[in-house]
């Protein structure tokens, strides 16, 4: 496991060309360079110059199809790189690569069918013989800022829709995991995309604000913490800023749900997979009192049995967090909840960067494990007396990304779809479920805009109307 083929000092990508800078950037898997100021300027300038290119749809689609196929062919190498760089268990790295292959495939398909509409205008007097051709055109070059937790697939969710929509794109990967993004760059470099249409630049987080403020990058698509996302949005009010931020995703278990063992398995597994470092990992569970006791016992047993250890072992479910500071924070939040009266049912221990899968009950309101995004392998279970109470407690969060509801009752489905203040409601499963082609995003402090290739292409473009006279309909 380690860096891609031919690793030494791994180049980054400026306007589609490999370059290295003078300042090394070492990761757990290898070494690249911080992008030099000159290279950053060249990447932005060429992206701005490329904004008017009318690259044929077939070229954009073929490029994305190539990346999809090449990534599939090198899937094990790419998954090993994710694991070496981030500590993500190899089973989840492999799953991420499978998803990224699909994301690029969706991009290729959407590039071919992104055609616009025709609207007749002879519906009112004075417009006989006129039609409107409504096309969507790129708002301009895109700055895509990506996090460490999905270092390939979330880069894919910036690259694929931008390229499919004809928008030049500059990717700033997370400093902890740049090599995974550079790996994708090596695949893009094998395509016929014109110079300037894409770059992948490792830039320190401290310098990202200057890049986000550059007027030649009028669209910013950011995935990460709500604090940083809000700073970017507030500092750039004239820009089109898309934010996919955090969450403390909730699952509701209703009294009509009979397969509690399966619900417990899904909640435990998806509350702790890749050490809980997912914005839709299950963090809060609201179980009706009729099923609470049985669910809690099943959760305790499942979480206590989850394999923890070496991320290179295919059997490992929970590996290390991204760094010591993250693990220490999670452990501190657990200890704080227990000190304030919470009941520790499983886990609660930390060894270096690894936190054991942790199940808490009776957590008082106001504890960080309830109100904030833990981003660790922690699940909090609470008893509720009614659906009304469950909905109110889910909605009490400042976040609103996704929620899962375990029910067979269509009346409940209708209510939660209308009343839960989230971007997506998953029925019969955990909030962690995501298909990469579906619109994905949140409300409140979970962000604005939607990912999913087709939805993101809508966000990265704007309608342009051409009215033709004398054509009729």
Catalogue the active-site residues: 244, 279
Q: Which two tokens stand for residue 149?
A: 């937790």
Stated length of the chain? 473
Rounded to the nearest 5°, which phi and psi values hold at 133?
Answer: -100, 115
Neighbouring CB atoms inside 10 A of 125's CB total 6
* Integer-rounded Cα radius of gyration of the chain: 23
Q: What's the CA angle centered on 271, arms 222 and 402, to 5 degrees?
A: 50
What does the DSSP 8-state code read for residue 314? Answer: T
Among 348, 360, 276, smallest CA distance to 319 is for: 276
Per the CB < 8 A criterion, the answer to whether 273 and 379 are in contact is no
Tell me the two tokens of residue 285: 């569970």
Separation CA 315–CA 270 (nearest Å): 16
Determine the Cα angle at 77 with ends 203 and 149, to 5°: 45
Cα 412–Cα 416–Cα 420 angle in degrees, nearest 5? 160
- Measured CA to CA, the distance from residue 61 to residue 57 in angstroms comes to 6
Provide the 10 A C-beta neighbour count for residue 194.
Answer: 15
User: What is the C-alpha separation between 355 and 352, in angstroms, rounded?
Assistant: 8
SS3 content of the chain, % helix, strand, coil (to 5): 40, 25, 35
Burial of 103 (0-12, 13-18, 19+ CB in 10 A): buried
């Amino acid at each position: 496991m380690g860096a891609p083929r031919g690793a030494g000092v791994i180049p980054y990508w400026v306007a589609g060309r490999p370059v290295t800078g003078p300042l090394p950037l070492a990761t757990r898997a290898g070494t690249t360079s911080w992008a030099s100021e000159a290279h950053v300027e060249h990447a932005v300038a060429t992206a701005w110059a490329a904004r008017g290119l009318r690259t044929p749809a077939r070229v954009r689609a073929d490029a994305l199809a190539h990346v999809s196929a090449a990534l599939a062919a090198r899937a094990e190498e790419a998954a090993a790189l994710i694991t070496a760089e981030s500590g993500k268990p190899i089973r989840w790295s492999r799953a991420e690569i499978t998803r990224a292959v699909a994301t690029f495939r969706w991009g290729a398909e959407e590039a071919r069918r992104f055609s616009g509409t025709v609207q007749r205008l002879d519906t009112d007097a004075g417009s006989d013989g006129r039609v409107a051709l409504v096309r969507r055109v790129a708002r301009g070059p895109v700055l895509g800022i990506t996090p460490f937790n999905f270092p390939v697939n979330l880069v894919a969710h910036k690259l694929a829709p931008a390229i499919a929509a004809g928008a030049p794109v500059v990717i700033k990967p997370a400093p902890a995991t740049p090599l995974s993004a550079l790996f994708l760059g090596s695949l893009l470099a094998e395509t016929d995309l014109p110079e300037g249409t894409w770059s992948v630049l490792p830039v320190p987080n401290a310098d990202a604000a200057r890049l986000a403020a550059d007027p030649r990058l009028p669209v910013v698509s950011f995935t990460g913490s709500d604090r940083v996302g809000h700073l970017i949005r507030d500092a750039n009010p004239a820009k089109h800023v898309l934010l996919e931020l955090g969450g403390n995703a909730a699952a509701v278990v209703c009294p009509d749900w009979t397969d509690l063992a399966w619900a417990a398995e899904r909640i435990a597994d998806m509350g702790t997979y890749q050490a809980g470092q997912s914005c839709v990992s299950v963090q809060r569970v609201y179980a009706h009192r009729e099923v609470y006791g049985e669910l809690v016992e099943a959760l305790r047993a499942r979480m206590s049995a989850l394999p923890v250890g070496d991320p290179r072992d295919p059997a490992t479910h929970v590996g290390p967090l991204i760094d010591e500071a993250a693990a220490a924070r999670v452990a501190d939040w657990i200890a704080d909840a227990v000190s304030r009266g919470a009941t520790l049912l499983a886990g609660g221990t930390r060894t270096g960067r690894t936190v054991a899968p942790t199940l808490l009950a009776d957590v008082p309101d106001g504890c960080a494990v309830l109100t904030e995004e833990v981003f660790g392998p922690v699940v909090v279970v609470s008893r509720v007396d009614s659906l009304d109470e469950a909905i109110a407690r889910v909605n009490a969060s400042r976040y609103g990304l996704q929620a899962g509801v375990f029910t067979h009752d269509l009346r409940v489905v209708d209510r939660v779809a209308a009343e839960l203040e989230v971007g997506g409601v998953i029925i019969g499963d955990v909030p962690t479920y995501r298909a990469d082609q579906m619109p994905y995003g949140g409300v409140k402090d979970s962000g604005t805009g939607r990912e999913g290739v087709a939805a993101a292409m809508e966000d990265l473009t704007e309608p342009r109307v051409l009215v033709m006279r004398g054509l009729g309909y």
